[in-house]
């Protein structure tokens, strides 16, 4: 695949949702600022202001209606160059049927499930789910793994071990601790190192919000985690994600991009092209012509 032109920025982790279309169990009163329909036009000015010309929409509910909403959004916005939808991985036969349908859509880019919202942290290691992941591995479909801490990273490492051919995308840098906890930070680093040993695992630099921690050292720790990820994975296995509209609970859109750019200030042009566009384009199979059209 042709590498995106230098200067291209792809936000590889952006959401849209609409509670009138279906149930988002995690979306409650405590999330009042975003507990409403969040549509792409609302963030387009911020994307343009930051030079972001293309986005990958990522699922927000474990249901088909959410995936359908993302494809509907893509049909009327050229900025959408990929959709990471949902599959019922614990029902392999149904997942196979739905996957066949999704793969007919040129913007289908991958699959995610809200595994961090499930009461069983080892759900994804179950026999039926394992068969669902086999399906993704066989068809070369990336899987976004959303972790909620170092224990979940250990589960991600087991998934990578069982499925060496699976393109595993670790969302939000595996949720490293932003508060001052050297033991947790070291556990995160050690498990991330294990994941780095699997060449098909890559990492999203997303979901890091120092402002949610009442600690002056949190921004520096976030930067250090990003540099650790670069040391372990290299630029060609890192991608930027803005995590709108979840980011609005903590900061305006674009602060994550600022943190990434400050933390990796020494990257050359090729390295920046990896982090800001090329890794996402390669992993998610984004058509270069779509990237060009998005920027037009």
Report DSSP letters for 4-16, one per residue.
Answer: PPTT--EEEEE--
What would the two tokens of residue 171 be?
């969302």
d(CA 180, CA 204): 22
pTM of the model as a whole: 0.96
CATH for 10-295, among 3.20.20.70, 3.90.220.20, 3.20.20.140, 3.40.190.10? 3.20.20.140
Taking alpha carbons only, the member of 232, 224, 228, 240 closest to residue 272 is 240
Note the pLDDT of residue 277. Answer: 97
Residue 213 pLDDT exceeds 80: no
Mean pLDDT of 252-281: 96
Mean pLDDT of 189-211: 95
Residue 87 pLDDT exceeds 90: yes
Instruction: Report pLDDT digits (tens) over 9-36.
Output: 999 999 999 999 999 999 987 899 999 9
pLDDT band for 1, please (50, 70, 90 cuts): low
Mean pLDDT of 255-277: 96
d(CA 229, CA 210): 17
Instruction: Report pLDDT digits (tens) over 141-175.
Output: 999 999 887 789 999 999 999 999 999 999 999 99
Determine which helix (DSSP H) or strand (DSSP E) holds 58, and give its type and residue range: strand 54-58
Note the pLDDT of residue 5. Answer: 78
Backbone angles phi, psi at 154, to 5 degrees: -60, -40
Residues 6+ apart with CB under 8 A from 48: none
Mean pLDDT of 179-188: 92
Note the pLDDT of residue 261. Answer: 95
Note the pLDDT of residue 111. Answer: 98
Backbone angles phi, psi at 216, to 5 degrees: -65, -20
Note the pLDDT of residue 287. Answer: 93
Share the mean pLDDT of the chain: 95
Alpha-carbon dihedral angle through residues 123, 127, 129, 133, given to the nearest 10 degrees = 130
Residue 210 pLDDT exceeds 90: no
Mean pLDDT of 217-241: 96
What would the two tokens of residue 114 be?
């809200």
Mean pLDDT of 84-106: 97
Mean pLDDT of 100-108: 97
d(CA 245, CA 259): 17
């Amino acid at each position: 695949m042709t590498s995106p032109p230098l200067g291209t920025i792809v936000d590889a982790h952006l959401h849209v949702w609409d509670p009138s279309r279906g149930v988002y169990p995690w979306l409650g009163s405590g999330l009042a600022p975003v507990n409403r329909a969040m549509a792409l036009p609302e963030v387009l000015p911020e994307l343009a202001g930051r030079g972001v010309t293309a986005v990958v929409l990522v699922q927000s509910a474990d249901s088909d209606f959410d995936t359908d909403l993302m494809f509907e959004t893509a049909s009327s916005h050229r900025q959408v160059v990929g959709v990471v939808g949902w599959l019922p991985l614990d029902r392999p036969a149904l997942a196979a049927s739905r996957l066949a349908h999704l793969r007919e859509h040129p913007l289908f880019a991958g699959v995610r499930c809200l595994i961090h919202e499930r009461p069983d942290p080892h759900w994804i290691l179950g026999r039926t789910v394992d068969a669902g992941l086999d399906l993704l591995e066989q068809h070369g479909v990336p899987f976004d793994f959303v972790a909620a801490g170092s224990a979940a990273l250990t589960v991600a490492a087991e998934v990578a071990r069982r499925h060496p051919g699976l393109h595993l995308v670790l969302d939000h840098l595996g949720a490293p601790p932003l508060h001052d906890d050297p033991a947790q930070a070291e556990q995160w680093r050690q498990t991330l190192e294990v994941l780095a040993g699997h060449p098909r695992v890559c990492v999203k630099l997303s979901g890091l919000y120092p402002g949610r921690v009442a600690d002056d050292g949190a921004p520096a720790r976030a930067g250090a985690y990003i540099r650790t990820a670069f040391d372990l994975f290299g630029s060609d296995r890192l991608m930027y994600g803005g995590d709108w509209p979840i980011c609005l609970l903590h900061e305006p859109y674009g602060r994550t991009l600022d943190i990434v750019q400050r933390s990796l200030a020494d990257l050359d042009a090729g390295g920046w092209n990896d982090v800001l566009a090329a890794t996402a384009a390669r992993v998610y199979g984004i058509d270069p012509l779509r990237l060009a059209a998005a920027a037009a």
